[in-house]
Structure 1
Amino acid sequence: MTSWLRTHSDLPWYALFLCLSVEAAVIEASSSGDGTLCRSSSITSCTECLRRGPQCAWCFQEAFLEGTGASQRCDLPLSLLRKGCSLEAMEHPEVKVEVNATLSGTQVSPSDIQVTLRPGSEASFIVAVSQLQRYPVDLYYLVDVSASMKENLDQLKTVGVALSHRMREHSSDLHLGFGSFVDKPVSPYINVHPSKINNPCSDYEVRCRPAHGYHHILSVTHNITEFSRVIERQLISGNMDTPEGGLDAMLQAAVCQRELGWRTGSKRLLLLMTDQPSHLALDSRLAGIVRPNDGLCHLENNVYTESTTMDHPSLNQLSDKLLENHIYSIFAVEKQQYQWYKALVSLLPGSYLGRLGHFQAPNLIELVVDAYKRLLSEVGLEVLVEEGAGSRYWLSVSPLCPEGSTANAHSCSGVLPNQTVYFNITIGMRSCPDENEGTDVKVTVRPVGYNESTVVRVQAHCRCRCGLPGRCRNPGQSQCRADSTPTNGEAPRKPVQAYSRDSEQNPGERRTPCRAEGAELECGGRGVCECGSCVCEQSKLGAVYGAHCEMDDFSCPYKDSLLCGGRGMCVSAECVCDLGWTGESCGCPVTPETCQTSDGAVCSGRGRCQCGRKCVDCHLAHGLLHGEAGHCNQTCAPLGTCGVSVFTSVPVTAVTLGSTPPQGRA
């Protein structure tokens, strides 16, 4: 796939992919299946027709199939053309994908795509994600400072400088930040005795920090010395129960971008260090806290202010916020908690779990470096559909992984720096929105952990410009119906009228008579006359139409299971063939190419071409039959084999007009 793109460097890669995928989807949507889905007596408007499927089209031509019901205007585009509907008068919205080539990111491209869909249609496009070699890195330490983490906190004091040196192999620009958490400072999570609130460790004659939900201490900075100084000043705290409030703190660290100083163009790593499991959503009910987490930043003086009034976030909410803010999460936990966090990490895209026997500085540095390499080598997508529109659309994602990497469901693993992963994304439309809903939906294609994304704006084309003309309308009255008002701001397209002998008359005086010239019955006996026009009957065998109900789609000869061979129209039980065809069932080409000799003569000038395929009634130059009629060879050669007969050579000069033909022998 990559080599194919290189050979077509004259066009943007996404333009080439779109040309192939969209064209294939449109062709399939417009030609698949037969027209039975479109032809239904229950269809009364253009809007209903378009909602039958992407292959259906509506003809709003004024004189089209005059006298039939509205349902006859809905059919396959090719069928409507054969019945006389012009392309200009056909409502058949195009399924298309348009790329804004002026917007393109460094890592993710294209950045902006617009897709137009119809009910039952689908369209595909490609999103490319490039894995650069040396990203700037923001690493934020989020540390559990409960009493059991005292020794582990001491190990952090030597991590900053050593980690910065080690990460130079992978990043040219490392920034570090720091924050701490314990638990919600309410009962039953902490001891609320007055002597314990300010110093949870008073029983041990040790000075501790008050318990807190989350405290942001140092914004990400390139000053590694300042990071080490902050770590040295940290004190432990204490609480009552085993689980901690780590997920509460993670969400705040993710959404408070300005307060934490997350950089726009960096890879963002959030490292959670703890030796205990975490509280989950609804756990706060034990403390009488029932208000759901709103997913917003609530830092005041760098302290989380809603810890005592708002529940812990759900895993789905936390996952969305990590993705939305382009953050990879790393969990550094002791081995006794490994299984608990293993189940948790499986629900958080872009997460890495490291198991440590002890929180020693070398082990922690190796964990961070290994997590960074592993996370960047895994390139995956999250596709988010605007809330409330998911039921109307479906999506599929297929990764096209570079050589040496492994394809997973929605991702590629083992991707090396400077390699590109292509994702083939198909979006299909199940149904139209309700009348009170908008027609545009935003879909965000977001690579996990990347600060760039692709915005796909999907427009549903469910309404028409023009519908069926009304009966007995005044001259010049618009034939656009109320339900066919354009939704894209266009003016209604002027209807195209079919040509007839009446079209040159004054439109105000034109009226189609209900009785054809020489006919005994009005409307051919297959309809009734209303307002000076025939309203044709609806037969169970098929449609009856025409100015005098003289046309139908069932009473003429069939060829290859198609009425008039699919090359004509049925008028008064006879096929009126398309240009270039003739015969009872329009099965004979008018141009007799198979009967022509090399000099262009038809049957060598000595016979008649039957149905454009074989020569019959062959004769010599002076009118003598050359063999039995219908048994001569293809081009009526003057001598030689003709059918199964062999003739004796007779000089042309010896033959006289009216003489008996020479007798041949078997």
Structure 2
Amino acid sequence: MWIPLLAFLTVGLVSLQKGQRGAGPVLWLVRLLAAVVPGLCQSPINRCIISNAATCTNCLAVGPECGWCTQEDFMTGTKQKERCDVVLHLMKRGCMADFIESPKIGVTKPVNGANIQVIPGEVSVLLRPGSEASFMLKVQQLEKYPVDLYYLVDVSASMDKNIEKLNSVGSDLSQKMENISIDLRLGFGSYVDKTVSPYISIHPGRIHNQCSDYELDCMPPHGYIHVLSLTDKIAEFRSAISKQKISGNIDTPEGGFDAMLQAAVCQSHIGWRKEAKRLLLMMTDQTSHLALDSKLAGIVIPNDGNCHLKDNVYIRATSMEHPSLGQLSEKLIDNNINVIFAVQGSQFHWYKDLLPLLPGTTARQIESQAGNFSDLVVEAYKKLLSEVKIQVDNPMQDINVKITAICPDGSRKPGLEGCKNVKSTAEVLFNISIAMEGCRTTEGRKYVMLKPLGFNESTRVNIHKRCACQCEASIKRKRICIDEMSQEPETSYCKGGICSSSDEFSSEECKMQKDHLICSGRGDCVDGKCICHKTKLGTIYGKYCEKDDFSCPHHLGNLCAGNGECEAGKCKCFGGWEGDHCQCSLSLWKHCMNSDGQICSGRGTCVCGRCKCTDPSSFGHLCEFCPNCRTTCSDKRNCVLCHHSNSSQITLDQCKTSCAYRLHYTEKSSECTSDASHFRIFFIIFIVTFLIGLLNVLIIRQIILQWSNNKIKSSADYRVSATKKEKMFLPTVCTKTVTYRRDKPEEINISKLQVNETFKCNS
């Protein structure tokens, strides 16, 4: 347990050496300590040594306690030099302090800073992989700080009474703010909604006056109009309010967030002061449209977050979408603006629910006659002042920022919660810890910003990464950054990616396979061991430099879903995982098995728990439908012999290959276990049945023919007897045709027969 303490002491002593070129004196002091207390220099676990780091850069990546000895004659005559070790150990083993690569970790603050409320304004942090540095950040609000208050008012018809109340707010608010601010400026802007259907009525009689149905004179609808820039002249504010007319639209939500973003980013138009506390008060009685709502009007271009005011009118209201909450929050923080939602009616809770998504905002409810308006603003402003929070802006990859607030009452708040109920002029401290995970990215932006919400000051933290050793760029000789693997101290040379110092090592040892490139074409072969190249894309590693952390696909933000390694551009999954991204568990194969224990019915492969049919004629969830395939019984019948104990060895060998999946699922008593003899019996029965049926048909045919002949003979006798009887009967129907005339139906005279009168046909 003493070694970590000594290592920490060493790193701390080294970090205190500011303004000195080298760390020689401190390292000699550590060496003396190690000599006095030799028993403390042995540790059961030394990750610096067990890492087997072959280069100085790899050694630094193991941990902040590790150092690399560049001394050429270090441990001469020994088989294992172990240049990567704890600094104390290296010095005890004979490495001179000037030849130890162990970058210091420290924080540098400028002596003079321009910040008044947020101190310090700039910090420089030097880090190495696995290290962490901390510093304190102080936030203290000035008493009676200047305030810029911009009114953003919904001027739809339902807000008529509230707009009239604003006339008396200016002077009343100025008097109440005297105890809080020595310099108050007021501004004013109005908004309604996007001026397209279905948000407004486009009827010719209402397009310019949405209130025409109510016999009111309303101003045309508009997305956002900047009416009055910030001014300390209360008379100008009251004059602008008195001239303001109401407008209208036809849908319930308004375009408040569209106007709010413009008021935040158009700093020169509004007149926001850098040295003032910026407040934006949004007064409304309805909800606001969110991003994607404008697609209902055919507007699909995303909001770009820029200022689009021309002659103080928002000109992109009809061509650009509403901003999202995330975009709006980002713009408010970037421009140091606090928002007060002053809401009348039941929609107050809608805005209150949005407060966690919009840092630096608060909500207050307006009374029916807006009688509490001045008090509302003062209370909301005091609440904003009483909360001190810090937002981490533009975070860097591989850099973790941890914030702990130390509130005036002594309590500690982890994370970004901050302190509440802070009195004016009270001091709030923040312990900022910055840790470096690794060196996957070394290019790009080199700083992060710490922004107290609502303050116009921030802290810039410059990050300096020490991912490489100084010996790699040193012009001094006798500095070794790559460990020698051979026993004899020969000078190595490199050519064409192959570095060798003796004949006992071959470049073939640096190939994964004979036909592969040396070190996969991404490293140098040094004495039979690959030293991987550096790249801006990420880290190359592996015995043959075959692995990396950038060329393979990601799943849910993790390389190979975190379940595999990237090798030759493809994910090589760990045990129990499969898929192109190693995103699927092998336990999902059970979803591809049918009732017979067959995977995808033998006609496909199981991919992530779903069957992918390889037979083009098969389909179904388990590829179970296949009109052109063999029947299930035919498939099973070939595997029945696998259950017979007297089967030949050839049959059993076939069972292991073609019927392996059926050995535990096909039953001897199955209805599909018939052999060829059953088919012969079935065929004989079919033939006998067919012959009997044919004989029956012939017999029935003969009977029918005999019956037909008898019937014809009886019909002839009947005709002969009928001629004799014709003379005995009178005809019942006259052969003479009677024609009726439709034109003179009255001439038709039909006489009735008398009783006992015989009917006669006229010739």
Question: Which TM-score band applies after superposition, normalised by the shorter structure?
Answer: 0.5 to 0.7
Partner of 2:402: 396
| Counterparts in 2 of 1:383 and 1:434: CA distance versus 1, 3 Å | closer
Partner of 1:331: 341
Shift of 1:65: 2.9
**Is the 1:295–1:313 Cα contact (8 Å) retained in structure 2?**
yes
Shift of 1:357: 2.6
Matched, 1:321 2:345: no
| Counterparts in 2 of 1:349 and 1:196: CA distance versus 1, 3 Å | same
Matched, 1:416 2:423: yes
Partner of 1:369: 378
Cα deviation code 1:444-499 (max 9, x no counterpart): 11111000111001111111122xxxxxxxxxxxxxxxxx34xxxxx5555469xx
> Which of 1 and 2 has higher RCO (CA within 8 Å, sep 6+)?
1
Shift of 1:192: 2.0
Other structure's SS at 2:346 match: helix
Other structure's SS at 2:138 match: strand
Distance 2:241 2:14 in 1: 55
Which residue identity is paired with 2:421? Answer: G
Distance 2:42 2:305 in 1: 46
**Is the 1:381–1:448 Cα contact (8 Å) retained in structure 2?**
yes
Which residue identity is paired with 2:402? Answer: S
2:464 aligns with one of 459, 465, 469: 459
Shift of 1:433: 3.2
**Is the 1:465–1:493 Cα contact (8 Å) retained in structure 2?**
no
| Counterparts in 2 of 1:327 and 1:79: CA distance versus 1, 3 Å | same
Cα deviation code 1:604-628 (max 9, x no counterpart): xxxxxxxxxxxxxxxxxxxxxxxxx
**Is the 2:404–2:412 Cα contact (8 Å) retained in structure 1?**
no
Other structure's SS at 1:105 match: coil
Shift of 1:204: 2.4
1:278 aligns with one of 283, 288, 292: 288
Partner of 2:243: 233
Cα deviation code 1:240-298 (max 9, x no counterpart): 21111111111111111111001111111100000001111111111222222211111
Other structure's SS at 2:280 match: strand
Shift of 1:130: 0.8
| Counterparts in 2 of 1:420 and 1:22: CA distance versus 1, 3 Å | farther
Matched, 1:87 2:88: no
Distance 1:115 1:32 in 2: 32
1:146 aligns with one of 156, 165, 185: 156
Aligned length: 459
Distance 2:169 2:43 in 1: 66
Partner of 1:379: 388
Partner of 2:278: 268
2:115 aligns with one of 105, 125, 130: 105
> Runs (4+) of structure 1 moved beyond 6 Å?
19-24, 30-34, 67-71, 529-534
Which residue identity is paired with 2:104? Answer: E
Other structure's SS at 2:126 match: strand
Matched, 1:169 2:207: no
Q: Which runs of 5+ in 1 are unaligned?
A: 1-18, 467-483, 486-490, 498-511, 515-528, 535-666
Under a length normalisation based on structure 2, what TM-score does the superposition of the two structures give? 0.56
| Counterparts in 2 of 1:303 and 1:406: CA distance versus 1, 3 Å | farther
Which residue identity is paired with 2:355? Answer: V
Distance 1:287 1:71 in 2: 74
**Is the 2:210–2:220 Cα contact (8 Å) retained in structure 1?**
yes
Other structure's SS at 2:374 match: helix
Distance 1:73 1:44 in 2: 8
**Is the 1:22–1:124 Cα contact (8 Å) retained in structure 2?**
no
Q: Kindly report which structure 2 residues correspond to 1:123-522, keeping only aligned pairs within 5 A, or say none.
A: 123-360=133-370, 362-386=371-395, 389-390=396-397, 392-403=398-409, 409=415, 410-434=417-441, 437-438=443-444, 441-466=446-471, 484-485=472-473, 492=475, 495=478
Distance 2:414 2:86 in 1: 40
Cα deviation code 1:150-169 (max 9, x no counterpart): 11111111111111111112
| Counterparts in 2 of 1:357 and 1:69: CA distance versus 1, 3 Å | farther
Shift of 1:195: 2.9
| Counterparts in 2 of 1:280 and 1:359: CA distance versus 1, 3 Å | farther
Distance 1:330 1:214 in 2: 18
Give the stretch that moved more between structures: 421-430 or 96-105: 96-105
**Is the 2:403–2:414 Cα contact (8 Å) retained in structure 1?**
no
Partner of 2:74: 64
Other structure's SS at 1:211 match: coil
Q: Which runs of 5+ in 2 are unaligned?
A: 1-11, 18-22, 31-40, 481-486, 490-499, 506-763
Partner of 2:550: none
**Is the 1:141–1:178 Cα contact (8 Å) retained in structure 2?**
yes
Distance 2:14 2:221 in 1: 57
Identity over aligned residues, as a percent? 49
Q: Kindly report which structure 2 residues correspond to 1:514-663, keeping only aligned pairs within 5 A, or say none.
A: none
Shift of 1:22: 7.5
Shift of 1:197: 2.3
Cα deviation code 1:354-378 (max 9, x no counterpart): 0123252x40101000011111111
**Is the 1:35–1:76 Cα contact (8 Å) retained in structure 2?**
no
Q: Alignment RMSD, CA only?
A: 3.2
Distance 2:477 2:501 in 1: 25
Distance 1:459 1:142 in 2: 44
Under a length normalisation based on structure 1, what TM-score does the superposition of the two structures give? 0.64
Shift of 1:131: 1.8
Distance 1:114 1:286 in 2: 50
**Is the 1:40–1:71 Cα contact (8 Å) retained in structure 2?**
no
Partner of 2:34: none
Cα deviation code 1:545-600 (max 9, x no counterpart): xxxxxxxxxxxxxxxxxxxxxxxxxxxxxxxxxxxxxxxxxxxxxxxxxxxxxxxx
| Counterparts in 2 of 1:434 and 1:374: CA distance versus 1, 3 Å | closer
**Is the 2:51–2:62 Cα contact (8 Å) retained in structure 1?**
no
Other structure's SS at 1:316 match: helix
Other structure's SS at 1:155 match: helix
**Is the 1:405–1:413 Cα contact (8 Å) retained in structure 2?**
no
Shift of 1:35: 5.8
**Is the 2:14–2:104 Cα contact (8 Å) retained in structure 1?**
no
Shift of 1:70: 8.9
Which has more helix, going by share of residues?
Answer: 2
Distance 2:263 2:173 in 1: 21
Matched, 1:120 2:127: no
Which residue identity is paired with 2:437? Answer: R
Distance 1:319 1:492 in 2: 51
Which residue identity is paired with 2:253? Answer: P
Distance 1:156 1:411 in 2: 34
Partner of 1:644: none
Other structure's SS at 2:376 match: helix
Partner of 1:588: none
Shift of 1:194: 2.9
Distance 1:75 1:89 in 2: 13
Distance 2:42 2:422 in 1: 39
Shift of 1:33: 8.2
